[in-house]
């Protein structure tokens, strides 16, 4: 029982730390301070390669700036992440749509949505992608 409490506490602390790492970057993105956000997210991705959500956010910034090759690099890195790794399929699907490859994009969207409930943040990201 004691080991369970320690493990639970460690899991909660890790989750909170990951959320705190991304908050300044999210605020910078909202303020359209993309260079600052890229710098913050690159440091998170380098420190924690398993943070797929940070790679997704970084790739999304590159997409907004029309730098698709860098976006693709970070989306592909993010797929290996355990925390939010599937989100990166959304970015890769957007790249497929930009390349006019609707079938590949739909396949990637299907990978993301197959295990999700109705309204989750991942579905909200998908809803912003023009098809």
Asked if residues 92 and 75 have their Cβ atoms less than 8 Å apart, the reply is yes
Structure tokens at 121: 């943040």
Quick check: 5 pLDDT over 50?
no
SS3 string of the chain? Answer: CHHHHHHHHHHHHHHHHHHHHHHHHHHHHHCCCHHHHHHHHHHHHHHCCCEHHHHHHHHHHHHHCCCHHHHHHHHHHHHCCCECHHHHHHHHHHHHHHCCCHHHHHHHHHHHHCCCCCCCHHHHHHHCCCC
Asked if residues 34 and 59 have their Cβ atoms less than 8 Å apart, the reply is no
60-91 confidence digits (pLDDT tens): 999 999 999 999 999 999 998 887 888 899 99
Q: Which residue has the higher pLDDT, 108 or 13?
A: 108
pLDDT band at 2 (very low <50, low <70, confident <90, very high): very low
Quick check: 9 pLDDT over 60?
no
pLDDT band at 115 (very low <50, low <70, confident <90, very high): low
**Mean pLDDT, the chain, as a whole number?**
79
Quick check: 16 pLDDT over 60?
no
pLDDT of residue 8: 36
pLDDT of residue 58: 94
């Amino acid at each position: 029982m004691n080991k369970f409490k320690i493990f639970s506490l460690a899991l909660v602390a890790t989750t909170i730390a990951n959320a705190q790492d991304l908050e300044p970057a999210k605020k910078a993105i909202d303020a359209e301070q993309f260079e600052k956000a890229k710098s913050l997210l690159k440091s998170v991705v380098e420190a924690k390669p398993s943070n797929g959500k940070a790679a997704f956010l970084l790739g999304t910034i590159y997409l907004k700036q029309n730098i698709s090759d860098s976006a693709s690099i970070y989306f592909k890195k993010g797929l290996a992440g355990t925390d939010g790794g599937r989100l990166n399929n959304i970015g890769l699907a957007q790249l497929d749509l930009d390349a006019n490859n609707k079938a590949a994009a739909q396949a990637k969207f299907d990978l993301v949505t197959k295990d999700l409930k109705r309204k989750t943040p991942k579905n909200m990201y998908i809803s912003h992608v023009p098809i």
